[in-house]
Amino acid sequence: MPVEIGKVEFRDIVDEVRAVGNIIADQRVTLTAEVRGKLVEFPVKEGQRLHAGDLIAQVDPREYRLQVDRLRAELISSRNEYDKTKEGARPEDRARLKAQLQATQSTLNLAKKEEQRFRQLKEEGVVSQSQYDEKVDRLKQAEENHRASEAELEAGEKGREEDVLKAAAQLESVTKQLELMELNLEKTAIIAPFDGTLLRRTVEVGAYVSDGDAVGEMIGASALKAVIELPQGYRSRLNELTGIEFEVPELGLKFKENSRLKSRVRIIPDANIFSGNIQAQVELSRPDRALFPGVTLEARLKFNVRRQVKHVPSISLVIGEQGTVVYAVKEGKAHLIPVKSGLERDGWVEVTDFTRQLNKTTQLIIRGSGAVFPGAKVMPTIGGGPPGGGPPGGGPPQKGTSPGNKPAEPGKEAGSPKPPSTEAKGQPPEKTGGEKPAPAKKAS
């Protein structure tokens, strides 16, 4: 049986995938009141651009300001009372206590002398025991009075510890109340938390708001993300990204993201139940000011170069009971080689060779493969090459593109359907080429 033969090609492939998506805001918040009161100002209009710290709305601050003034006055009074208690008695009181201590000391000294004199007289039999006991009692009383005067003077100089602690607690309580009220006064001004745009107002001037009531909604202007849909086969390949090209036809914008992609591209772990696609978020490094949340964009994701990828002419593929196969000539007979087909480029299909039988010297049957079977005797002839630009015998394809060709999804055989929202591409590194699902012949 005459057959036309060709060769296996080994190509360096730069993989690409096309996707569509939208711009979303990385920052989106609902603005709420943090204190109760009447709304007296709302100077910002919907759609107005804001800077962080700009006033958005104002709750009536008068009640909170009066409370702050009252607590400040109370704080001054509490601080004075604490200082007075800590310092102890006034100077004139301390002088009186010192004089009192000196008097009790004199009385004590006199009582000691009398006790000593009467003790000697008692021993000489001049005075009775009762007279001596009277002097002893007077000495004890003088000692007690002196100790009491010492304690009173010490308390007057230092202040009683419990009084100092009580005054300190009162001072701390008033301080905390003042800090809280000053914070509430500050919260009467509802300000922009970041640069952005006010989307909508939910209340108007004159409305009464409570803590937690929404007054508006705001989105950030400086931090934008692109959310795009990709086939699930690319989930594990995002760490191979070398660059992303974006286009916004609606605004006539084109821009690229090429740096720190591993840290700026994240997968949203929630596949679409209808298409099976996954969503990826890309943080935009320097978004154009013309971009805004909701705008549609197109993306082209570029991956690493895959070296020496095996390709066979698309017309050599055969789908039969054994799956997708190609036939090679060995010792004048057709030899079956199972493969897994991938993307097609210019009439050539990327294949996975499980048995590692395909190499540069393999005589691949490209025409007549659908009519042969394993072990069939064949007569090889050199053919004119596959369609799409390859020279006779399966040589390297000519450089160029094939406009309008559509790719197959990664991981699917050539000719499989793809989700309508994505388009995968692959091409030699030196120039992007179009792709299309490879036609496959069924075995007769």
Which residue, 121, 150, 181, sits at the end of a domain? 181
* Same structural domain, 276 and 418: yes
Which residue, 181, 215, 239, sits at the end of a domain? 181
Is 192 inside a domain boundary? Answer: no
* Same structural domain, 290 and 398: yes
* Cα–Cα dist 317/327, whole Å: 8
* Same structural domain, 106 and 167: yes
* Same structural domain, 93 and 170: yes
* Same structural domain, 94 and 18: no
Is 35 inside a domain boundary? Answer: no
What 234-243 contacts at long range (C-beta under 8 Å, 24+ apart), as own/partner pairs, is 234/17, 234/278, 234/301, 234/410, 235/267, 235/278, 237/15, 237/303, 237/410, 238/265, 238/267, 238/280, 240/303, 240/304, 241/265, 241/301, 241/302, 241/303, 242/302, 242/303, 242/304, 243/301, 243/302
pLDDT (average), residues 298-310:
88
* Same structural domain, 228 and 296: yes
Is 56 inside a domain boundary? Answer: no
pLDDT (average), residues 328-349:
90
Q: What is the pLDDT of residue 202?
A: 94
Q: How confident is the model at residue 90 (pLDDT cuts 50, 70, 90)?
A: low
* Same structural domain, 248 and 381: yes
Whose CA is closest to 196, among 230, 163, 219, 179?
219
Q: What is the pLDDT of residue 158?
A: 61
Which of the pair, 298 or 435, is modelled with greater confidence? 298
Which residue, 151, 181, 211, sits at the end of a domain? 181
* Cα–Cα dist 28/65, whole Å: 32
Say if residue 54's pLDDT is above 90. Answer: yes
- Percentage of the chain lying above the pLDDT 90 cut: 34
Number of independent structural domains in the chain = 2
Is 326 inside a domain boundary? Answer: yes
- Percentage of the chain lying above the pLDDT 70 cut: 81
* Cα–Cα dist 425/408, whole Å: 8
Say if residue 174's pLDDT is above 70. Answer: yes
Say if residue 36's pLDDT is above 70. Answer: yes
Q: What is the pLDDT of residue 170?
A: 93
Is 230 inside a domain boundary? Answer: yes
> Averaging pLDDT over each range in 67-76, 102-111, 274-283, 309-318, which range is the top one?
67-76
| The pair of three-digit structure tokens given for residue 198, joined into one six-digit string | 């006010």
Is 197 inside a domain boundary? Answer: no
* Same structural domain, 373 and 300: yes
* Same structural domain, 164 and 275: no
Say if residue 442's pLDDT is above 80. Answer: no
* Same structural domain, 237 and 158: no
Is 219 inside a domain boundary? Answer: no
Provide the whole-model pTM: 0.48
* Same structural domain, 334 and 433: yes
Q: What is the pLDDT of residue 68?
A: 96
Q: What is the pLDDT of residue 421?
A: 38
Q: Which domain holds residue 172?
A: 70-181
What is the separation, in whole angstroms, between the first and last Cα of the chain?
14
Q: What is the pLDDT of residue 406?
A: 35
